[in-house]
Structure 1
């Protein structure tokens, strides 16, 4: 389930004015120079999380992020990263691309709107039954790619973001995938009743278009090279309220030697934590919403 990020980049308008002597012929005005900012960041992490859930099966991850901002207010964002096959079968990579427009005062009220696309090349679940207890031959294919509409707002260092899922599914969450995952967990745990899966399938077939996410974050400076990070988020999964998750992140960011070091306590509280259990190919189970200490190192170019 996891989260697209549109990051602000300050841009300053530069202009060039040429003064000519009074007796000289009037010179044509110099063309205005478009002003923009492009930031590139490479980052390694002990765990990649999106909305409190681990995308890397509680394992290490890496990201490469490009942020572009034009003085007109146009912004663009691209992030490349890794994901685990346990959560995204047949996958291993992700890309988040976004474009939008931002306006307002960075020190006061500011706003932004945009569109984002989260992609998981190769990740898919094929021929998963809509309800194996009714008709195991009625199957559906699912991909994890997700389209979002984004609205940003904030005041000073406080940043908030609202996302609305426009694609058919939010990160592949539909009855075939969600309930099928519950069935596999039951089998791995030796639950012969398959109670969670039976209950899940019994609700009928659903997709998750219309899911909503709200995130609020602040980076509070404590000295010139150090900030305190606070983050709270909530994910409401359409037609699957038991997947709704409150996520949090609290940590410290420190800049030294040209690198950004970060340590955060991160976790999620899923409404029904049974569905945060994820299996690997050996049948082992990890709780991907569990609280953990995540450290990272980033370098901007």
Structure 2
């Protein structure tokens, strides 16, 4: 069994003005930006996808003057968290932006997040009489989303709705099974099973970001987010981040303090053999990126 993990911010950044060249800028009709980024911890919405270890990310972003934008991203993830996989997370997204980048602007899009080969097996039922787990099934971590954005200047608000059957494997087997196996008190896990078999289609993820340019090469970035998981309130949580990004020698150097407020921490614990490690703890994440 495996706890659910939060959505990569790359999907949200697809529609963010800072992520891709705006169609309103006086640039070529079509622009492609490739970025390589190394981080001390590969985190999504404040939770580690890399077992609290360094990660590598390659992003290719494209923008057309008509407002069409696209993204392909490849990031290293932990095989201990995304079981049976190749240690790779892939994000593919496309959308459309319109409006004034300096004033009100809007965006809509679709995205998918894939973890090649990664899946887990867990029981989707529990016999209350015999105490035996039943209905074992395999679940992939892959997800799909509808994305919408509204912003004013440097303020960006985004909402994502899960249109796939599950959000990163969040179903009865993934959530209830993890609670039952990792929580010292079995009652919350049994109560979760007693609600019946459910998936997490229809979950909502919200993000609010604000960028403050301190000077031409340095920016302060503020972020707040919340995820509301359909049928599993135990997996709801909020996350916050504050960071500095500085451009020097052709690289962007960043330092971000990230923290989360989870309801059931066991859903964000990863196992390395018999050793448990929290992936939702507060942490300073440093990174360096180069765009081509």
Instruction: Flag whether TM exceeds 0.5 (same fold).
Output: yes
SS in 2 for 1:234: strand
1:228 aligned onto 2:182:
no
Q: Paired residue for 2:62, among 63, 68, 77?
A: 68
Give the whole-Å Cα distance in 1 for the aligned partners of 2:182 and 2:199: 21
SS at match of 2:221: strand
User: Does 2:180 correspond to 1:178?
Assistant: no
- How does 1:78-117 map onto structure 2 within 5 Å? 78-91=72-85, 92-117=87-112
Contact 2:178 2:266 in 1 (8 A): no
Structure 1 unaligned spans of 5+: 15-33
TM, length-normalised to structure 2: 0.90
Aligned length: 275
Q: Distance in 2 between matches of 1:59 and 1:197?
A: 29
Give the match's secondary structure for 1:95: strand
CA contact (8 A) 2:46 2:260 kept: yes
Q: Is the 8 A contact 2:20 2:33 kept in 1?
A: no
Take 2:231 and 2:61, find their aligned partners in 1: how far apart are those partners?
Answer: 34
Matched, 1:141 2:141: no
Quote the offset at 1:137 in angstroms: 4.1
Mapped to 2, the partners of 1:142 and 1:225 lie a distance apart of 45
Q: Which residue of 2 aligns with 1:44?
A: 38
- CA-to-aligned-CA distance 1:4-51 (integer Å, 9 cap, x gap): 23133224467xxxxxxxxxxxxxxxxxxx711111100000111112
1:288 aligns with 2:279: yes
SS in 1 for 2:227: strand
CA 165–240 in structure 1, closer or farther in 2 if over 3 Å, else same: same
Task: Report the TM-score, using the length of structure 1 for normalisation.
Answer: 0.87
Aligned partners of 1:113 and 1:150 also within 8 Å = yes
Q: In 1, distance between residues paired with 2:271 and 2:178?
A: 9
Q: Does 1:297 find its partner at 2:285?
A: no
How far apart are 1:133 and its partner, in Å?
3.3
**What RMSD in Å do the two structures reach over aligned CA positions?**
1.6
Cα distance in 2, alignment partners of residues 54 and 45 from structure 1: 11
C-alpha distance in structure 2 between counterparts of 1:52 and 1:122, whole Å: 24
Highest RCO, 1 vs 2 (Cα 8 Å, sep ≥ 6) = 2
Specify the alignment match of 1:19 in structure 2: none
Q: Which has the larger radius of gyration?
A: 1
Q: What residue is the counterpart of 2:235 in the other structure?
A: 243
Per the alignment, residue 28 of structure 1 pairs with none
